[in-house]
Chain A
């Protein structure tokens, strides 16, 4: 099978990875780079579990040819964790009880991360629209909305909503 050497920035590091030409970005991050946080739920663009960031924008990595990210910056769910610990979005999802089986959640959080960055004043309708291509089978989305609303609140420099505050303290 024809292969190529890919060069891109992965969670802040410059990497060089050999992979077959036809591999998707999802396959390369999961099975070559070993970053298995990005999930494969359908491999055809339906579920959003594979959502990660390319140059700061959420994309479906199962529909992105790995060759297309040559020279670009890729961030996965693992890359959201910084020296100060988990990202605010990760912390808010955990605190809100938004994570049930969790399989949709890395993708969900990457989509939410972009929203919180771009529109910290997001309304519930904005949140629904931003997450509409990320399917969750467990939660009914309710606690995901609460998590994103709280992340927005923190992004605006405000305190947590009362229920979340109680959970965050635990």
Chain B
């Protein structure tokens, strides 16, 4: 379908001379509420008469449900409602092309933890007791726990009506003559890489609260990062008109992609509340949050890359097996992203990827920060270092030689506008003391580099439509306040403050003169949500669009009052003044009143849609973004040759986020991303028991203690460096910062290990046992040679 591009590019320049709010180190507009304990998260909501819901989960990795008997649970005093899957049989998927989920299992369960029934009772203890009274008769089926087995066998298939057996998605794309290019290459490196699978582990567990009004309007408060898709699917599954559904996202305690799908507990809270005639809260336990998963996909990746004698890359070729777990989730996109997002900052003249996602009977995988591309990026950046090493080129120089440049089209047809990668390389090289360290540190200490790029939102809208991808409303009040109504989801990344900052800049306000109402579907225009790092660029452009319309009215009214052309009226720091004579000024409150008198009630909407982007082939728009961010990581490592333990004392990260609207928050995103990436190197591993038996498929460590997310003592020192390549597409030139700075953390550590002790580690996680084995292997090889 042709989509209308609403690409009102607003330009990189400050609207009133210099920037007054943008780029300043300010407090977030909404964080004092958090600091004082006033911020209301979903589980903080208590409604009169509210019941508590609990979900019965499958103890089997793969089984058919013969029957469910809920009569004993229903008879328990204090139980107000019980629901089972047949009451919500409508199938859905966050990607409309792959609708393979139901709110509760209808005929089959597909992983340990799959939702089977739900109960609402006066309190959690009673609800838990009721769950134990539900009798489910299962016919246990063969559990697929190995993705290779899923490729070969599908009897019985995990999704029986899937035409491709246990294959969820296959993408094969080739750009140029890869085989010929490799044939002609001076250097070819080839290796197998493994990404093991990790979880998001936000500190806030999932929670939803549902209430039906007497006149049949459903309000759902949920810890979701994409309220709009929950809205659409809740209406569909519950068969209620969408206008009778209101979705509110309260303060949210971290998401990282893990709160992107519409979840069973959201549908269950809504149906339980309808059946009980009372509000229902459904709070998942920490263990349930782990079972719910949607974490980063395990991938087995064979990569082959070549370069010429000058170290210019000639070809990249990958073959990737993706373990999707039990449902599709965003898997169609994941499969594309595993190949589409690699074509920068290094230029490849030829490229092929062949990615296959299969179903297994494990908790379903989904999008985690750096969706789909963190895993192949790990492989690719190690390949670059291997080629550089073979040619005796410094790995940073190797990346400089292969830099794609600005305003270029990649081999897979993506348009790269601004590109600050060279400045990123310079920044980390300088800050880390690279030249004094690389190859020069004492034994078992080393330093490594990696680069990466990421999207600032994507062209590909999850469901095809002609409407804006981001919309916003701004109202000006005679009190001098601007209120911003936005559907954007602040999940801690700070987009509420970004929206306030942009509107304040346009209208010459201080941040305390802007208030943001966000993520309430009754009050705010639709925004597609917090995913694909889209908000700053997309909703930010919409915010500038709305602000600029109002600014013109205010300038007009003030110009008339001061007897000067509207264009001569400047707005800054709470004042409207004559650019030629700063003493002729009014407060913005007075200015708003003049404008309201002249133009009537003041409000404006702003919208944004991406420009046409992407390659002209099937899937060519997936991963095509208006603008790309770039990052360079340098990691320093120490290896203990006795124990095989890796210690990462410090990382330097330079990230090109375009214009930094809020530098403190950009630094926070760089630090938090890198922290999360480094944790995936050696500490974190989402893993299930593989042995056949009752526990096969059971999550091995579903607690924060066992899953070992890093504490203060495990986290390296992180030095965040901001690079600002002003992009023509972003609001005042801004791009993303929330996901890009994760990617390079993993391969930078791997490349530093080579510098430290001459081993190429390619299979994550880098456990002490694996490091020791690699060191042993190297010693044996050296002994054999000498």
Contacts and interface: CB of A to CB of B under 8 A. Distances in A.
Q: Of B26, B494, B672, which is in contact with the most chain A CB atoms at under 10 Å from its CB?
A: B672
B25 A37 contact: no
A91 B35 CA distance: 8
A50 to B, nearest CB: 11
Interface of B: 24-28, 31-32, 34-41, 43-44, 46, 125, 200-205, 251-256, 285-286, 491-494, 511, 664-665, 667-668, 671-672, 674-676, 703-705, 709, 711-713, 715, 717-718, 720
A170 B25 contact: yes
A94 interface: yes
B675 A102 contact: no
A109 interface: yes
Contacts of A42: 286, 703-704
Interface in A119-143: 127-129, 131-143
B251 A102 contact: yes
B292 to A, nearest CB: 15
A127 B667 CA distance: 21
A84 interface: no
Contact of A101 (B286, B491, B664, B715): B491
Nearest to B671: A140
Contact of A94 (B31, B38, B202, B672): B31
B711 A135 contact: yes
A131 B36 contact: no
A105 B717 CA distance: 20
A135 B203 contact: yes
B39 A90 contact: no
Interface string A81-119: 100001000110111010111111110010000000000
Nearest to B717: A142
B652 to A, nearest CB: 13
Interface stretch (A28-36, A53-61, A152-160): A28-36
B518 to A, nearest CB: 14
A87 to B, nearest CB: 9
A49 to B, nearest CB: 6
A76 interface: yes
Interface string A15-41: 000000000000000110011111111
A163 B285 contact: no
B27 A94 contact: yes
Given A94-B27, A103-B253, A143-B667, 16 more contacts: A35-B37, A36-B41, A37-B36, A39-B204, A78-B37, A94-B32, A97-B664, A100-B493, A101-B202, A102-B31, A104-B253, A128-B712, A134-B712, A139-B671, A141-B712, A170-B25
Contact of B254 (A34, A35, A44, A103): A103
A93 B27 CA distance: 10
A81 B35 CA distance: 10
B253 A39 contact: yes
B35 A90 contact: yes
A78 B704 contact: no
A142 B213 CA distance: 45
A-B pairs, top 9 by smallest CB distance, nearest first, are: A37-B37, A101-B492, A103-B253, A140-B675, A102-B34, A36-B44, A140-B671, A77-B37, A97-B664
17 contacts: A31-B46, A34-B46, A42-B286, A42-B703, A45-B705, A97-B25, A100-B254, A101-B202, A101-B204, A102-B34, A105-B34, A137-B676, A137-B709, A138-B492, A139-B675, A141-B712, A167-B25
A77 B36 contact: yes
B46 A167 contact: no
Q: Of A42, A80, A101, which is in contact with the most chain B CB atoms at under 10 Å from its CB?
A: A101
Contact of B31 (A39, A99, A142, A170): A99
A102 B44 CA distance: 14
B712 A39 contact: no
Contacts of A127: 712
B704 A41 contact: yes
A4 B709 CA distance: 37
Contacts of B44: 30, 36
Interface in A2-17: none
B492 A100 contact: yes
Contacts of B201: 137
A139 B36 contact: no
B27 A101 contact: no
A70 interface: no
Contacts of A135: 203, 704, 709, 711
A68 interface: no
Given A78-B36, A86-B35, A132 B671 contact: no
A44 B703 contact: yes
Q: Is the interface of A mostly helix, strand, loop or mixed?
A: loop
Contacts of A39: 41, 203-204, 253
A103 B202 contact: yes
B673 to A, nearest CB: 8
A36 B251 CA distance: 12
A43 B26 contact: no
A47 interface: yes
Contacts of B718: 140, 142
B254 A138 contact: yes
A117 to B, nearest CB: 18
Contacts of B26: 167, 170
Contacts of A77: 36-37
Given A43-B285, A97-B665, A137-B201, A36 B675 contact: no
Contacts of A76: 37
A41 B665 CA distance: 24
A97 B667 CA distance: 9
A163 B28 contact: no
B41 A97 contact: no
Given A101-B491, A132-B711, A170-B511, A36 B37 contact: yes
Given A86-B32, A170-B25, A136 B203 contact: yes
A158 B500 CA distance: 32
Q: Of A34, A137, A141, which is in contact with the most chain B CB atoms at under 10 Å from its CB?
A: A137
A166 B668 contact: no
A100 B715 CA distance: 17
B254 A140 contact: no
B34 A170 contact: no
B178 to A, nearest CB: 38
Contact of A41 (B35, B46, B203, B667): B203
B668 A167 contact: no
B203 A49 contact: yes
Q: Of A30, A38, A46, which is in contact with the most chain B CB atoms at under 10 Å from its CB?
A: A46
Given A49-B203, A97-B664, A137-B709, A106 B672 contact: no
Q: Of A45, A104, A128, A142, which is in contact with the most chain B CB atoms at under 10 Å from its CB?
A: A142
A16 B38 CA distance: 23
Contacts of A132: 711-713
A137 B202 contact: yes
A31 B205 CA distance: 17
Contacts of A95: 27
B61 to A, nearest CB: 25
A104 B32 contact: no
Contacts of B491: 101
A136 B43 CA distance: 19
A59 to B, nearest CB: 17
A131 B38 CA distance: 22
